[in-house]
Every structure is written in structure tokens, then in C-alpha cells.
């Protein structure tokens, strides 16, 4: 395993947890515990799925329910009655004349917050409705470009500090995520792009799920099987898609959902729960995203639940330090996308997210794709950095650190064109 060796970092790293306890992160392939991956086609009551019909009637719903119940948590179903989309701003000359840029305000309950500000880019050069990418951002829409016309995000963003001057901070961050969102490249490839700040949907800290969209739909404390923050964000992505369905310049049946890191965990869960997303992309999503939990490599279930107790539901805490007991693993999350297109990407220096475990999830989702007789990854070992593999399922390992870069986007755009861009090739 030449590649596996090149992926192995220094043996073991000691990490100090918030409560002072030393936690050990394993970065050594030879110290990965023995584990058995559940067969994604096995039925709980006995027997094994052998046809698409059986998967769709029994296997898929049971797998979705299990992962929902034990990990991300149950979210409200569908578009809420009070759902409203209002166009707030439009500029015809954005991105150096390449795009029309709009801002929409989306709300979910009459007269009650929260309100989501969706930023939408439409390629100027278009002849009809266009396919789109949709994804959440960490720190506000103004981080995508330096253009001062984009409304700065003054509410909570990932990394907000108490008492800081939010306006000054938001202004100082203009254009800071431009590398993560290469808008010119996206619109020039013929795609629209829709994004919103994840904090508009649910702030990223633990308050017993009292803020964000939670109180609109859940009374009192959520039960152990109910939604955490990642489910709330995924629910929000489905609402952005609802909004796109009402925008005539976008072809909402051709939408790719994308996310990086915690928002990559979110794009996977959104893709699993909302089959309207035709392409699902996870960038460096790691533990709780594409990486297999049972490998306990880099970030573990115990670590993630300790640092981010609000991301997953109450039930998921049962598996802290006990991944063996998990009745599923993340390859089954990937399998929930079948027969739609799913793409996972890792970075060589992002060992915390376990690139090998991310690759293996895609590989071991294959039996479900095989039911549909769809060709898939086409390799059994992680490819060399800089090489994209697969067809309906895809994967690449980028040389470099935890991030989303134009190099990643070049692969995502090619993948999305293959699956959504019948008129763009
Ligand atoms: C932390 C966390 C990861 C997460 C990442 C991010 O590193 O441990 O699970 O993916 O933050 O979202 O940036």
C-alpha cells in the first residue's frame, strides 16, 4: 500500500481537550482498529437486498431511518407553510460583467425569524434556464467577493466572538473566501451559484438547540432522535432549493449541492434526505461526513461530540469511544445517493479528516450502485494526488491542506457538467 504509507503521518498526536483531558488522535494506519463494515445491502430483519425495487422499498428507507435516528436527527418534512422568498437586490454587472447577482430573503414562518439571505449568481451568457450549485458558507456572503455591494452579514457567523464589532469584522472579511468560491469560473462554466451563511439557519454553537430554525418547529428540548445543527443546515439547503424552484432562470431539477468540512457533512446529509439534489459533493468533510467512523483515524466520534455537541443528535453520543457499536457507517450514507451522482474529495495534509477513510466510504457504497448497474469508481485504491477517478461516484485527493480551492472546483465543475450539463459539454 504505497499510497497508504504516504498518507500516514507521525505516529500519534496528543491533543488537549477542553476539559484538560489528554485525547489521542491516531494517524497511524497500522493502529486502525479491526472493524467490520456493515453490508449496505443487508436487511435488518434478515435477508439481503437483491434488486433496485427491494432497495428502494426496504433497504434505502431503513438505512436512512437508522442514520437519521442514531446520528443527524429527524428534521421537519418539506417546505413549511409560512415559506416566503422575496427578491431584495439585483445587479446586472457583477463579477466583471460575467454575472447577474441577486440577493433574496427567505423566511419560514410569518413574522418570525430567522431570515436567510441567499446570494445568487446567474451567468450573463445564458440562453435558457441554467443548472446550479448550492452550498452554505461559513462567514457571510460578503466573503465571496470584494465587491462592496454585497450585503455584509451582521448576524452570527462561524467564529463570531462576543462583543466584537460585527460590522467592522464583516467588512474586514470581504473577499476572504474568494478562493473557496471561484465565482467567475463557475458562471463561465454555465452554472448558477446560490449560497447563504449557515448561521442564518442555525448559529454554530451549543445552546440546547434554542436558536436558529429549531424553535420554529420543535417545542422544548429536542428528543435524542431529533435534529442537531447539521440536520438544521441540511434542512436549510432544501429550502434554498425550494427557493430556486421558484426562480425561472434556474433549472431546479439540475442542482448540485456542495459543502466544505462541517458544511460538507451537511451537503451529504442534505443529499441523503432530499433526492431532488442530483449531484452531491463533499469537500474534506471528514468525521461525521464521508470518513468511515469505525477507522477512528484522526477525528473520532468521541472527539467530535465533545467539541461540537450540537452538530449531531443525542443518540449519537452513545458511540463516543465506541465506534464498534455503531450499527452503520458512512459508506451507507454515500449509498443513499444512489443512483444519483456523488463526489468526495480529500486533501493530503488533512489527516484529521482521514482521506483514506473518505475514499473507502465511496468504495464501499459500490454494492448499492451495482444494483443500478451503474459504473462507478473503477479503482480499489486511493488515487495519487491530483487525479480524479470514477464516473457516477467520484473521488480525488488534492495535494495540500484542509480547504476548497480552484483545483477542487475544476474537478467539481467537470463532474457536474458530466451529470447535469447536457447543454454545457
Ligand atoms: C473542525 C472539526 C471538523 C470540521 C472542521 C470544519 O476541525 O473537528 O469535524 O470538519 O472543524 O468544519 O472546519
Q: What is the mean pLDDT of the segment spanning 27-35?
A: 97
Report, as an integer, the average pLDDT of 132-136.
98
DSSP codes of every residue in 19-42? TS-EEEEE--GGGSPP--PPPTTB
Number of helices and strands (H, E) in the chain?
14, 12
Whether 306 and 364 map to the same domain: the answer is yes
Asked whether residue 268 is assigned to any structural domain, the reply reads no
Percent of the chain with pLDDT over 70: 94
Q: If DSSP codes are grouped into helix, strand and coil, which group holds residue 401?
A: coil
174 shares its domain with 105: yes
Q: How many CB atoms lie within 10 A of CB 147?
A: 15
**What's the rounded mean pLDDT across residues 385-389?**
98
- Does the beta carbon of 158 lie inside 6 Å of ligand 1? no
Q: What is the pLDDT of residues 218-248, one digit of tens each?
A: 888 889 999 999 999 999 999 999 999 999 9
Q: Is residue 284 lining ligand 1, measured as CB closer than 6 Å?
A: no
One domain for residues 318 and 347: yes
Give the chain's end-to-end CA distance (angstroms, integer): 37
Does residue 425 lie in a domain region? no
Domain identity same for 46 and 87: no
- In this predicted structure, the answer to whether residue 145 has a pLDDT above a threshold of 60 is yes
Q: What is the pLDDT of residues 321-355, one digit of tens each?
A: 999 999 999 999 999 999 999 999 999 999 999 99
Smallest CA separation from ligand 1 atom 13, residue: 261
Q: Are residues 134 and 247 in the same domain?
A: yes
Categorise residue 390: left if φ over 0, alpha if ψ from -120 to 50, beta otherwise: left
Per-residue model confidence (pLDDT) at position 425 = 55
Annotated catalytic residue 260: no
Confirm whether 263 is domain-assigned: no
Q: Which of 342, 420, 417 is nearest to 374 (CA)?
A: 342
pLDDT digits (tens, 9 = 90+) for 162-185: 899 999 999 999 999 999 999 999
Show which of 234, 255, 276 is a domain's final residue. 255
Q: Are residues 107 and 233 in the same domain?
A: yes
Can you tell me which atom of ligand 1 is nearest the CA of 264?
Answer: 10
Examine residue 72 and say whether the peptide bond preceding it is cis (omega within 30 degrees of 0): no
On the question of pLDDT at 103 being above 50, the answer is: yes
Express each pLDDT in 44-96 by its tens digit. 888 999 999 999 999 999 999 999 999 999 999 999 999 999 999 999 999 99
Report the pLDDT averaged over residues 351-365: 98
Q: How far apart are CA 189 and CA 410, in angstroms?
A: 10
Distance 262 CA to ligand 1 centre (A): 5
Q: Do the Cβ atoms of 118 and 104 come closer than 8 Å?
A: yes
Cα distances (Å, whole numbers) of residue 105 to 4, 86, 102, 152, 234: 47, 5, 10, 14, 18
Cross-strand partners of 122: 100
What is the rounded distance in angstroms from the CA atom of residue 281 to the CA atom of residue 237?
13
Kindly give the distance from the C-alpha atom of residue 261 to the centroid of ligand 1, in angstroms, as a whole number: 6
Task: Assess whether pLDDT exceeds 50 at residue 152.
Answer: yes
Q: How far is the CA of 86 from the centre of ligand 1 (A)?
A: 33
pLDDT on residue 44: 85
Catalytic annotation on 214?
no
- Give the pLDDT of residue 10: 37
**Are 192 and 161 in the same domain?**
yes
Residue 325 forms part of a structural domain: yes
Instruction: Looking at the structure, tell me whether residues 51 and 155 fall in a common domain.
Output: no
**Mean pLDDT within 403-418:** 98
Residue from 156, 151, 72, 76 nearest 109 by CA:
76
State percent of the chain over pLDDT 90: 88
Determine if ligand 1 sits within 6 Å of the CB of residue 358.
Answer: no
CA of 308 to the centre of ligand 1 (A): 9
Does residue 266 lie in a domain region? Answer: no
State how far the Cα of 267 lies from the Cα of 344, in Å rounded to an integer: 11
Assess contact for 329 and 289: CB atoms under 8 A.
no
For residues 195-212, one letter each, b for 16 or more C-beta atoms within 10 angstroms of the residue's C-beta and e for the rest, the string is bbbbbbbbbbeeeebebb
Is the shortest distance between the CB of 291 and ligand 1 below 6 Å?
no
In 181-266 the beta strands, taken as DSSP E runs, fall at: 192-197, 250-260
With bands split at pLDDT 50, 70 and 90, how would you rate the model's confidence at 3? very low
Q: Does the beta carbon of 304 lie inside 6 Å of ligand 1?
A: yes
**Domain identity same for 65 and 87:** no
How many whole angstroms separate alpha carbon 345 and alpha carbon 107? 32
E-only strand ranges, 182-277:
192-197, 250-260
Note the pLDDT of residue 21: 43
| Within a domain: 271 | no
Among 145, 196, 153, 141, smallest CA distance to 175 is for 145
Q: Mutate which of 282, 288, 299 to test ligand 1's pocket (most atoms within 8 Å of Cβ)?
A: 299
Interior/surface letters 296-319, b for 16+ CB within 10 angstroms, e for the rest: bbbbbbbbbbbebbbbbbebbeeb
Residue 409 within any structural domain of the chain:
no
Distance (angstroms) between ligand 1 centre and the Cα of 334 equals 19
User: How far is it, in rounded angstroms, from Cα 105 to Cα 119?
Assistant: 9
| Same domain as 173, residue 96 | yes
Q: Is the pLDDT of residue 8 over 90?
A: no
Residue 422 CA to ligand 1 centre (angstroms): 35
Which residue segment(s) compose the domain that 361 sits in? 1-72+285-402
* Whether the CB of 416 sits within 6 Å of ligand 1: no
Q: Does residue 134 have its Cβ closer than 6 Å to ligand 1? A: no
CB atoms closer than 10 angstroms to residue 74: 17
Q: Which of 147, 68, 131, 158 is nearest to 341 (CA)?
A: 131
Question: How far away, in angstroms, is 84 Cα from ligand 1 center?
Answer: 32
Q: How many domains does the chain have?
A: 2
Average pLDDT over residues 373-396: 94
Q: Which atom of ligand 1 is nearest to the CA of 262?
A: 12
Least confident of 31-35, 61-65, 108-112: 108-112
Q: What is the pLDDT of residues 239-273, one digit of tens each?
A: 999 999 999 999 999 999 999 999 999 999 999 99
- Closest C-alpha to 238, from 136, 137, 326, 165: 136
pLDDT at 19: 43
- Do 1 and 97 lie in one domain? The reply is no
**Ligand 1 neighbourhood includes 135 CB (under 6 angstroms):** no
Residue 417 falls inside a structural domain? no
Residues 128, 250 within the same domain? yes
Q: Which atom of ligand 1 is nearest to the CA of 284?
A: 10
Q: Which atom of ligand 1 lies at the shortest distance from residue 288's CA? A: 9
- Kind and range of the H or E run holding 281: strand 279-283
Residue of 261, 267, 282, 346 marked active site:
261
Res. 130: pLDDT tops 90: yes
Amino acid at each position: 500500500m504505497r499510497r497508504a504509507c504516504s498518507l500516514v503521518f507521525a505516529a500519534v498526536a496528543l491533543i488537549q481537550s477542553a476539559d484538560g483531558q489528554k485525547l489521542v488522535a491516531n494517524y497511524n494506519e497500522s493502529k486502525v482498529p479491526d472493524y467490520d463494515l456493515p453490508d449496505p445491502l443487508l436487511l435488518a430483519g434478515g435477508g439481503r437486498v437483491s434488486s433496485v425495487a427491494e432497495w428502494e422499498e426496504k433497504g434505502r428507507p431503513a438505512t436512512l431511518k437508522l442514520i437519521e435516528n442514531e446520528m443527524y436527527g429527524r428534521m421537519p418534512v418539506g417546505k413549511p407553510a409560512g415559506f416566503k422568498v422575496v427578491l431584495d437586490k439585483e445587479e446586472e454587472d457583477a463579477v466583471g460583467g460575467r454575472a447577474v447577482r441577486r440577493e433574496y430573503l427567505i423566511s419560514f414562518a410569518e413574522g418570525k425569524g430567522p431570515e436567510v439571505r441567499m446570494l445568487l449568481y446567474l451567468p450573463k451568457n445564458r440562453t435558457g434556464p441554467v443548472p446550479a450549485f448550492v452550498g452554505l458558507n461559513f462567514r457571510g456572503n460578503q466573503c465571496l467577493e470584494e465587491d462592496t455591494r454585497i450585503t455584509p452579514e451582521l448576524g452570527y457567523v462561524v467564529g463570531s466572538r462576543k462583543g466584537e464589532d460585527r460590522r467592522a469584522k464583516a467588512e474586514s472579511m470581504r473577499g476572504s473566501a474568494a478562493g473557496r468560491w471561484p465565482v467567475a469560473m463557475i458562471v463561465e462554466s454555465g452554472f448558477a451559484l446560490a449560497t447563504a451563511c449557515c448561521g442564518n439557519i442555525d448559529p454554530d454553537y451549543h445552546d440546547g438547540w434554542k436558536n436558529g430554525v429549531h424553535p420554529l418547529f420543535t417545542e422544548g428540548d429536542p428528543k435524542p432522535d431529533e435534529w442537531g445543527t447539521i440536520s438544521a443546515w441540511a434542512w436549510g439547503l432544501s429550502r434554498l432549493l425550494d427557493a430556486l424552484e421558484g426562480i425561472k432562470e434556474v433549472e431546479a431539477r439540475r442542482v448540485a449541492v456542495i459543502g466544505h468540512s462541517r458544511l460538507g457533512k451537511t451537503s451529504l446529509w442534505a443529499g441523503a434526505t432530499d433526492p431532488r439534489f442530483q449531484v452531491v459533493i463533499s469537500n474534506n468533510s471528514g468525521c461525521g461526513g464521508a470518513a468511515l467512523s469505525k477507522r477512528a483515524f484522526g477525528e473520532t466520534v468521541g472527539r467530535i461530540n465533545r467539541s461540537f455537541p450540537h452538530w449531531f443528535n443525542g443518540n449519537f453520543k452513545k458511540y463516543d469511544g465506541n465506534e464498534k457499536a455503531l450499527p452503520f457507517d458512512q459508506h451507507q450514507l454515500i449509498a443513499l445517493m444512489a443512483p444519483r451522482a456523488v463526489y468526495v474529495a480529500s486533501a493530503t495534509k488533512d489527516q484529521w479528516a482521514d482521506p483514506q477513510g473518505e475514499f473507502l466510504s465511496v468504495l464501499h457504497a459500490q454494492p448499492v450502485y451495482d444494483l443500478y448497474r451503474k459504473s462507478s469508481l473503477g479503482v480499489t485504491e486511493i488515487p495519487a494526488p491530483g487525479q480524479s477517478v470514477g464516473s457516477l461516484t467520484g473521488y480525488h485527493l488534492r495535494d495540500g491542506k484542509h480547504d476548497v480551492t480552484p483545483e477542487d472546483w475544476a474537478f467539481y465543475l467537470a463532474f457536474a457538467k458530466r451529470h447535469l450539463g447536457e447543454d454545457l459539454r
